[in-house]
Chains A and B, each alone.
Chain A
Amino acid sequence: MTFEYAPAPESRSIVSISPKYGHFIGGNFVAGTKHFPTINPATEEVLSKIACGTKSDVDAAVKAARKAYVGTWSKMSGKERGKYLFRIARIMQERAREFAVLETLDNGKPIRESRDVDVPLAAAHFFYHAGWADKLEYAGLGTSTKPHGVAGQIIPWNFPLLMLAWKVAPALAMGNTVVLKPAETTSLTALLFAQVCQEAELPAGVVNIVTGDGSTGALIVNHPGIDKIAFTGSTEVGKIIARAVASTKKSVTLELGGKAANIVFDDAPIDEAVEGIINGIFFNQGHVCCAGSRLVLQENIADEFLEKLKIRMNKIRVGDPMDKNTDLGAINSQEQLLKIRELTIAGDKEGAQRWSPECALPSKGFWFPPTIFTGVTQGHRIAREEIFGPVLSVLTFRTPQEAIDKANNTPFGLSAGIWSEKGSRILWASQQLRAGVIWANTFNKFDPTSPFGGYKESGWGREGGRHGLSAYLKGVSHE
């Protein structure tokens, strides 16, 4: 007997998408000049046309943000700012389904994830930072902190709304105004968020959203009227930004790539570790900067563990992201799909063994099956470069020290996972690992109260928690 799950598609009737969008500047939607299409990566259907921000658009946005900062936002008490943030958070919760459906249509991620992870967490970030707005003097960051002024924020396409919340919520709570550019392929939820700002009656110019591609991003980074740059994206672009702001007064936080090691010791809770590895690499199609893309597995349990991992991978449901039972959705863009293909072909050529479960991929849209490579060593490209897709590289180790050495042997250092039932081993390993976030017996757990950020080429600064507040303040005295 087989238990086939009938399609359970979420209805898209709750969202209304305009055929064409402009920018959100000074509290109003303003028309753009040139446009590019945004598509549903699961079907290649054109959803809308997005404006590509020009120099005059960015100038207008910075000007509006400055005016709002000087005239309103910097003069407002923390308590009043907090009220606006609470209001935004509540409206996001009220419109949660709308955000989730739109995010899934535009990004390709499964509705289960946008509904259960992205949107609730985004609202939680606004709630959390709303609470800090009037309690800054108790944050332990000193008594003479001040907001930067106008923050330029550039966010990626993997968690469009959530990354917006990570950026906008702390910036506003600390008293900054913002010019935000969503990623080229995923602007729609940011534009819906602009409507939320209007609905919350947020003073005009406190949040400005300019859509566009990398050229628009560069205009923001290089704009002399911006005091602070916050960027989440690739290490490659992060380096360009770091160079660009190096000789300016701008302060900068960067949240960049990763190649996290998920270390499984032989005393791990095996079934939950299998689940954690699955979650670590296949959550959000592996489009996660902190994805556990390297499984570092103790050699004496490797065969048994990989067998269980493959059995579990056979159960991953790949397909229509709008189906509530889908586990793995579409790759966000053609460009990203080509990058994943290129790196996996390199894995084949360098002699690693590729394995994927049998799964029928839709004929339209951008798809990549869940994939693991065994027989990978530190010298393989797939062990060193960020693939940013549903592809796991498996390495083995014999001694705990070897596991740590392999895990740390990367230019990145965003996150790591440790799987062991032995408390002393977890504490020891977490002290040796050079990564900003370390999970023990779990993975990809996010919470606004917990700081997130990287070592080495994974970035500068922290987002979330008390640590994250200082990214949007100057004059912070470090304890």
Chain B
Amino acid sequence: MSLVATNFYGLVDGSDSSLKKFLSTLPGVDQVGAEARAAMLATRSIKTTSKRWAIDTAISMVDLTTLEGADTRGKVEALCTKAVRPDPTNLAVPHVGAVCVYNDMVGIARHHLDLVGGNNIPVAAVSTAFPSGRASMAVKIQDTSDAINAGAGEIDMVIDRGAFLSGDLIGVFEEIVKIREVCGEKAHLKVIFETGELVTYDNVRKASYLAMLAGADFIKTSTGKVAPAATPPVVLVMLEAVRDFYAMTKTRIGVKPAGGIRNTKDAIKQLVLVNEIAGPEWLTPALFRIGASALLNDLVMQRMKMDDGYYASPSYVTID
């Protein structure tokens, strides 16, 4: 867990003018070019040994998620068991990166993970009035500290998109800084942009730098509640941002696409993006996560297929 960047990496001084000045130096993103590059990388053909490696790596990067109003203790506990043993018939399958739940489920998830041998798997809590971010700062802080007190090792906060779109960048920045302070040394901070609401790639780039300067450990595309979400060009722009931020600060920030990544093919495309844009240093759960729920079963099924040479019936994969 990185230290809180109180001096904002020496790149801005925390004032509105310095932030605006910094963000105005960022080059624009050409939409056609960014989409063409992402589409080209989607043609990479990942087969045999590299596919096997990619599947296991992707499994270890999944933030196994349930964010439903209908979530119950039983549902969350089942999810935790699956997080530890994605394929109960094959213990060589790695465990996932984290379990991601709502605030009130954090304690249940933490307790159950510890019970089933997942004490090394962190619980990620969505926070700051997820998914809309529409609440007072006091509520957002309380939301976050509650989750940390209940055992959350990772906080997935949402930014105030209304503030961002209306030009109140310093407002967004200060919110992230405050939540960063609440997280302190106890929790990793992931900042969710909801790229489907920011709409343009220029905004995605701007939000990426804003969040990194404010102390994010990870930048995350989406809540999963809004489409489009983690499209390859959006992830590409964010991977460029963390790559270039590393060149400036020697600090590696993680990236978490979430929303719409449902099958192995999509997940492997994401890994190719990481490999060729940010670089192989980012190919670790410490720096790349995939927020997903249905994806894990497809990864497990494709892994079985590689072992057995045929597709098993879905009955051979646990539903939760």
Q: Taking beta carbons and an 8 Å cutoff, which residues of A are in contact with B?
A: 1-8, 112, 116, 267-273, 275-276, 315, 324-325, 421, 441-442
In the complex, what's the smallest C-beta–C-beta distance from A246 to chain B, in angstroms? 43
Cβ–Cβ contact B51 & A3, under 8 A:
no
A residues near B91, Cβ cutoff 8 Å: none
List residues 261-276 of chain B with CB under 8 A from any CB of chain A: 271-272, 275-276
B residues near A8, Cβ cutoff 8 Å: 45-47
Given contacts A8-B45, A272-B37, A275-B37, contact A441 B32 (CB under 8 A): yes
Cβ–Cβ contact A442 & B283, under 8 A:
no
Across the interface, name the chain B residue whose C-beta is closest to A4.
Answer: B50
In the complex, what's the smallest C-beta–C-beta distance from B308 to chain A, in angstroms? 19
Cβ–Cβ contact B50 & A276, under 8 A:
no
Question: In the complex the two chains form, what is the Cα distance from A441 to B240 in whole Å?
Answer: 18
B residues near A272, Cβ cutoff 8 Å: 29-30, 32-34, 37
Q: Taking beta carbons and an 8 Å cutoff, which residues of B are in contact with A?
A: 27-30, 32-34, 36-37, 43-51, 53-54, 57, 240, 271-272, 275-276, 280, 283-284
Q: Given A116, A273, A275, A442, which contacts B43 in the complex, CB threshold below 8 Å?
A: A116
Question: In the complex the two chains form, what is the Cα distance from A6 to B53 in whole Å?
Answer: 10
Cβ–Cβ contact A271 & B29, under 8 A:
yes
In the complex, what's the smallest C-beta–C-beta distance from B232 to chain A, in angstroms? 14
Question: In the complex the two chains form, what is the Cα distance from A4 to B54 in whole Å?
Answer: 10
B residues near A324, Cβ cutoff 8 Å: 43-45
Given contacts A272-B33, A315-B276, contact A3 B50 (CB under 8 A): yes
Q: Given B29, B43, B283, which contacts A269 in the complex, CB threshold below 8 Å?
A: B29
Additional 15 contacts, C-beta under 8 A, given A3-B54, A275-B37: A3-B57, A3-B275, A4-B50, A6-B49, A6-B51, A7-B47, A269-B33, A271-B33, A272-B34, A275-B33, A276-B33, A324-B43, A324-B45, A325-B45, A441-B30
A residues near B57, Cβ cutoff 8 Å: 1, 3
A residues near B272, Cβ cutoff 8 Å: 3
In the complex, what's the smallest C-beta–C-beta distance from A390 to chain B, in angstroms? 17
Cβ–Cβ contact A269 & B50, under 8 A:
no
* Shortest Cβ-Cβ A-B pairs, 5 listed: A272-B33, A8-B45, A269-B30, A272-B30, A324-B45
Across the interface, name the chain A residue whose C-beta is closest to B237.
Answer: A271
Cβ–Cβ contact A3 & B43, under 8 A:
no
Cβ–Cβ contact B30 & A3, under 8 A:
no
Question: In the complex the two chains form, what is the Cα distance from A4 to B47 in whole Å?
Answer: 10
B residues near A421, Cβ cutoff 8 Å: 27-28, 30
In the complex, what's the smallest C-beta–C-beta distance from B114 to chain A, in angstroms? 28
B residues near A276, Cβ cutoff 8 Å: 33
Q: Given A268, A315, A325, which contacts B27 in the complex, CB threshold below 8 Å?
A: A268
In the complex, what's the smallest C-beta–C-beta distance from A161 to chain B, in angstroms? 20
B residues near A5, Cβ cutoff 8 Å: 44-46, 50
B residues near A273, Cβ cutoff 8 Å: 30, 33
Cβ–Cβ contact A112 & B50, under 8 A:
no
Question: In the complex the two chains form, what is the Cα distance from A341 to B302 in whole Å?
Answer: 47
Q: Which of A4, A270, A272 has the most CB of B within 10 A?
A: A272
B residues near A7, Cβ cutoff 8 Å: 47
Question: In the complex the two chains form, what is the Cα distance from A241 to B48 in whole Å?
Answer: 52
In the complex, what's the smallest C-beta–C-beta distance from B281 to chain A, in angstroms? 9
Question: In the complex the two chains form, what is the Cα distance from A267 to B25 in whole Å?
Answer: 10
Cβ–Cβ contact B48 & A3, under 8 A:
no
Question: In the complex the two chains form, what is the Cα distance from A442 to B272 in whole Å?
Answer: 23
Across the interface, name the chain A residue whose C-beta is closest to B35.
Answer: A272
A residues near B36, Cβ cutoff 8 Å: 275, 442
Cβ–Cβ contact A271 & B280, under 8 A:
no
16 interchain pairs, CB-CB under 8 A: A1-B57, A3-B50, A4-B50, A5-B44, A7-B47, A267-B27, A267-B28, A268-B27, A269-B33, A271-B33, A271-B37, A271-B240, A276-B33, A324-B43, A421-B30, A441-B33
Question: In the complex the two chains form, what is the Cα distance from A3 to B240 in whole Å?
Answer: 18
In the complex, what's the smallest C-beta–C-beta distance from B317 to chain A, in angstroms? 25
Cβ–Cβ contact B271 & A6, under 8 A:
no
Question: In the complex the two chains form, what is the Cα distance from A98 to B280 in whole Å?
Answer: 35
Q: Which of A267, A268, A270 has the most CB of B within 10 A?
A: A270
A residues near B48, Cβ cutoff 8 Å: 6
Cβ–Cβ contact B33 & A6, under 8 A:
no
In the complex, what's the smallest C-beta–C-beta distance from A10 to chain B, in angstroms? 9
Question: In the complex the two chains form, what is the Cα distance from A16 to B46 in whole Å?
Answer: 27
Question: In the complex the two chains form, what is the Cα distance from A421 to B201 in whole Å?
Answer: 14
In the complex, what's the smallest C-beta–C-beta distance from B55 to chain A, in angstroms? 12
Across the interface, name the chain B residue whose C-beta is closest to A440.
Answer: B30
Question: In the complex the two chains form, what is the Cα distance from A384 to B53 in whole Å?
Answer: 47
Cβ–Cβ contact B33 & A3, under 8 A:
no
In the complex, what's the smallest C-beta–C-beta distance from B272 to chain A, in angstroms? 8
Q: Given A6, A315, A442, which contacts B50 in the complex, CB threshold below 8 Å?
A: A6
Cβ–Cβ contact B280 & A1, under 8 A:
yes
A residues near B49, Cβ cutoff 8 Å: 4, 6
Cβ–Cβ contact A3 & B283, under 8 A:
yes
Question: In the complex the two chains form, what is the Cα distance from A270 to B32 in whole Å?
Answer: 13
Question: In the complex the two chains form, what is the Cα distance from A275 to B48 in whole Å?
Answer: 29
Question: In the complex the two chains form, what is the Cα distance from A267 to B29 in whole Å?
Answer: 11
B residues near A1, Cβ cutoff 8 Å: 57, 280, 283-284
Question: In the complex the two chains form, what is the Cα distance from A136 to B178 in whole Å?
Answer: 69
A residues near B45, Cβ cutoff 8 Å: 5, 8, 324-325
Q: Which of B27, B46, B54, B276 has the most CB of A within 10 A?
A: B27
Q: Given B29, B37, B44, B53, which contacts A325 in the complex, CB threshold below 8 Å?
A: B44
In the complex, what's the smallest C-beta–C-beta distance from B282 to chain A, in angstroms? 10
Cβ–Cβ contact A3 & B29, under 8 A:
no
Cβ–Cβ contact A3 & B28, under 8 A:
no
In the complex, what's the smallest C-beta–C-beta distance from A423 to chain B, in angstroms? 12
Q: Which of A3, A269, A270 has the most CB of B within 10 A?
A: A3
Across the interface, name the chain A residue whose C-beta is closest to B247.
Answer: A307
Across the interface, name the chain B residue whose C-beta is closest to A10.
Answer: B45
A residues near B44, Cβ cutoff 8 Å: 5, 324-325
Question: In the complex the two chains form, what is the Cα distance from A7 to B47 in whole Å?
Answer: 8
Cβ–Cβ contact B43 & A112, under 8 A:
yes
Across the interface, name the chain A residue whose C-beta is closest to B49.
Answer: A6
Given contacts A8-B47, A315-B276, A442-B32, contact A3 B37 (CB under 8 A): no
Question: In the complex the two chains form, what is the Cα distance from A270 to B240 in whole Å?
Answer: 11
Cβ–Cβ contact A6 & B47, under 8 A:
yes
B residues near A2, Cβ cutoff 8 Å: 280, 283
Across the interface, name the chain B residue whose C-beta is closest to A270.
Answer: B27
In the complex, what's the smallest C-beta–C-beta distance from B54 to chain A, in angstroms? 7
Across the interface, name the chain B residue whose C-beta is closest to A266.
Answer: B27
B residues near A269, Cβ cutoff 8 Å: 27-30, 33
In the complex, what's the smallest C-beta–C-beta distance from A191 to chain B, in angstroms? 28
A residues near B37, Cβ cutoff 8 Å: 271-272, 275
